[in-house]
Amino acid sequence: EAEVAQSPRYKITEKSQAVAFWCDPISGHATLYWYRQILGQGPELLVQFQDESVVDDSQLPKDRFSAERLKGVDSTLKIQPAELGDSAMYLCASSPTGNTEAFFGQGTRLTVV
């Protein structure tokens, strides 16, 4: 069964350091999302891609976060510098188009110390 792959599963980093997360969506899925989930809360959108183009990054803290999806396949989310408040689960999801259900990966749990 096709899955969204994310790595690493867990990451501990010191504040002010740079950190990067990788996501490989289900093959053929044009839409890719990065969500952040704080413990006890629902996921909140950081950025949405359609192929290689950004559709929505209105909630992405652009002073420290960046995201790219070169060639419209896999994607990288970067934080530089990391802050204590960035500790959360970072979830990647994909869908065939923007009008269908989204499938999530297992997430990357980030702890900033």
Partner 1 sequence: QKEVEQDPGPLSVPEGAIVSLNCTYSNSAFQYFMWYRQYSRKGPELLMYTYSSGNKEDGRFTAQVDKSSKYISLFIRDSQPSDSATYLCAMRKVGNTPLVFGKGTRLSVIA
Question: Which residues of this chain interact with partner 1, rule CB under 8 A?
Answer: 4, 6, 31, 33, 40-45, 48, 50, 55-56, 91, 93, 97-107, 109
88-95 vs 75-79, strand pairing mode: unpaired
Q: Which is nearer to partner 1, 45 or 81 (CB)?
A: 45
How far apart are alpha carbons 49 and 76 in whole angstroms?
A: 12
Q: Which is nearer to partner 1, 16 or 98 (CB)?
A: 98
CB of 31 to partner 1, least distance (A): 7
Token pair belonging to 104: 């999530």
Q: Which is nearer to partner 1, 48 or 75 (CB)?
A: 48
